[in-house]
Amino acid sequence: MTAAEAQPILDLMLDGSSKGFPQDCPATRLGDVGGLGLRVTRGDLDYPVAVLKRSALAHNAAWMAEFNRRSGASLCPHGKTTMAPQLFQRQLADGAWGITLATMQQVRVAYGHGVKRILLANEAVAPGAIRWLQGALDADPGFDCTCLVDTPEAVARLEASAQGRRPLPVLVELGIAGGRTGARGIPAALAVARAVRASARLQLRGVECYEGIVATQDPAADRARIREWLAGLGELARQCDAEGLFETGCVLLSAGGSAYFDLVVQILGEVRLSLPQRVVLRSGCYFAHDAGLYQRFLALLEERLPEPLRMERRLLPALEIWGQVLSRPEPGLAFLGLGKRDAGHDAGLPVPVRSCRPGAAPLPAPGSWRITVLYDQHARLELPADAELAVGDLVGCGISHPCTTFDKWQVLYEVDDDYQVLGAIRTFF
């Protein structure tokens, strides 16, 4: 929030008014949190607290780097998932080509924290936002920001507000009938591309789609539909190329949420143009991964992988929410101080994965423990009547859908494998 550029993240002061920070600890500079000697499992923090496991983040980063080394694609991870510039910088250091974002406010946060190549995977329609973008591009020759267009009207709209020196690079978005944004079908998308070519201020840099929008409960049908859609994106690129519509030295072919990126690299990797090209994957959830929705998606993805892309290990869930038992009012019931304000609940409820008495070593949570209801600030944990879980004990939960969990935290705590706090990660939602 609030004037992201104004203060370096590490200089922000934290105290007990920030979720997770110990209540009985003096206000501390965010950059000094790793030196406090805090351990999540010793009860040193305030609960609930959001925890990122450094080893799992590093593993997932290496996994994705290896996947893209084999696939030849470039990673432009979706930053909307974490909105954490500290993690963006880590992703860039790990070789990411740029950072993808969903709104101009998100672009502002990333650019304000030094991200110089941004893919705004959305239409830019607000005149004020377009003016800001144009101004930033003109003022900073090192800033590279590409956005989407899906109708000739959107092209005209961008052009009307982009009154600057540098051209605005755009990708034509190909949609699907009944889907989300994007031109419906190749002829419509081609008309948009021609409008970009004809415009004085826009520059056609490539084509784009978001294949994840068609996901249903039928993996085989999804696979077929996504393959066809991605093949259509390749065909659109070929037709744009044949008409000489691209105004770039390297055509971008971009797709890829976090569930079908294997199909993206395979199908877009086969496209052949007269110009150099780059397949740009936008997966954002690979980094934190989860213990729910994306765990299921990745299991299906792994089954689909052909031999050259088959990975030896799996992505690991890096994000956990730890809550404290506030009440054990009945033998088979515990209530954790952890609710909808703390964990995503749109794609499954949190899953207990570990528990401990503060100070003791955490043990795996029995499979019989289930969070069955999430209230605003409480979780209802059902467990066997003889379960050893007392008021004050700590329960670590895996989550489902990182995007709707990160956004409930302004500060997350990065830990080692013993849950010792190594540092703090700030988000800007």
Residues 306-365 touching a copy of itself, rule: CB under 8 A, are 324-330, 333, 335, 337, 340-341, 345-346
Helix (H, G, I), strand (E, B) or coil at 386: coil
H-helix segments, 272-341: 293-304
- Assign 339 to helix, strand or coil: coil
Site for a copy of itself contains 3 (CB under 8 A):
yes
* Chosen residue from 39, 65, 74, 105 binding a copy of itself by CB under 8 A: 105
Residue 184 makes contact with a copy of itself by CB under 8 A = yes
Q: Is 132 in the site for a copy of itself (CB under 8 A)?
A: yes
Nearer to a copy of itself, 179 or 269 (CB): 179
Whose Cβ is closer to a copy of itself: residue 34's or residue 112's?
A: 112
Helix 127-139 to helix 152-161 angle, to the nearest 10 degrees? 60
Total of residues contacting a copy of itself (CB under 8 A): 89
Region of 131-139, 194-202, 303-311, 363-371 interacting with a copy of itself (CB under 8 A): 131-139
Q: Is 100 in the site for a copy of itself (CB under 8 A)?
A: no
- Least distance between a copy of itself and beta carbon 124 (Å): 9
What is the token pair recorded at 403?
């995007």
Applying CB under 8 A, does 269 fall inside the site for a copy of itself? no
C-alpha separations of 172 from 14, 92, 237, 396 in Å: 43, 25, 10, 43
For 286-341, give the DSSP string. Answer: TTT--SSHHHHHHHHHHHH--GGG--SS-----EEEEEEEEEEEETTEEEES--TT
Q: Is 139 in the site for a copy of itself (CB under 8 A)?
A: no
* Residue 303 touching a copy of itself (CB under 8 A): no
Determine if 108 is a binding residue for a copy of itself (CB under 8 A): yes
Please answer whether residues 365 and 352 qualify as being in contact, where contact means their C-beta atoms are separated by less than 8 angstroms.
yes
* Whole-angstrom distance, CA of residue 109 vs CA of residue 114: 9
What is the 8-class DSSP label of residue 337? S
Q: What minimum distance in Å lies between the beta carbon of 243 and a copy of itself?
A: 22
Torsion of CA 301, 306, 307, 313, to 10 degrees: -10
d(CA 167, CA 163): 9
**Closest to a copy of itself by CB, 354 or 378:** 378
193 binds a copy of itself (CB under 8 A): no
Residue 318's φ and ψ, nearest 5 degrees, are -100, -20
72 phi-psi bin (left φ>0, alpha ψ -120 to 50, beta other): left
The contact mask relative to a copy of itself for 148-167 (x = CB under 8 A, - = no) is --xx-xx--x----------
The minimum distance between CB 266 and a copy of itself, in angstroms, equals 25
- Burial (CB count within 10 angstroms: exposed 0-12, middle 13-18, buried 19+), residue 49: buried
The torsion angles phi and psi of 70, rounded to 5 degrees, stand at -75, -35
Residue 4: closest CA among 79, 90, 102, 110: 110
55 binds a copy of itself (CB under 8 A): no
Options 177-185, 243-251, 303-311, 313-321: segment touching a copy of itself (CB under 8 A): 177-185
Closest approach, Cβ 247 to a copy of itself, in A, equals 23
Of 227, 307, 228, the C-alpha closest to 260 is: 227
Q: Which of 76, 172, 183, 267 binds a copy of itself (CB under 8 A)?
A: 183
Question: What's the rounded Cα separation, in Å, for the pair 264 and 254?
Answer: 8
Among 44, 159, 208, 211, binds a copy of itself (CB under 8 A): 44
Question: What is the smallest separation between the CB atom of 233 and a copy of itself, expressed in angstroms?
Answer: 16
How are beta strands 277-281 and 363-364 bridged, if at all?
Answer: unpaired
Q: Quote the least distance from Cβ 131 to a copy of itself, whole Å.
A: 5
Nearer of residues 271 and 412 to a copy of itself, judged by Cβ:
412
Cβ proximity to a copy of itself: between 105 and 248 the closer is 105
Q: Is 1 in the site for a copy of itself (CB under 8 A)?
A: yes
At residue 34, φ and ψ (nearest 5 deg) are -65, -20
Are β-strands 117-123 and 99-101 bridged in parallel, bridged antiparallel, or unpaired? parallel
Q: Does 35 bind a copy of itself (CB under 8 A)?
A: no
69 touches a copy of itself by CB under 8 A: no
Q: What are the percentages of helix, strand and coil residues in the chain, rounded to 5?
A: 35, 25, 40
The answer to whether residue 13 forms part of the interface with a copy of itself (CB under 8 A) is yes
Judged by CB under 8 A, the chain residues 376 through 415 that form the site for a copy of itself are: 376-378, 380, 390-392, 403-404, 407-408, 410-411
Q: Stretches 58-66, 96-104, 223-231, 359-367: which one binds a copy of itself (CB under 8 A)?
A: 96-104
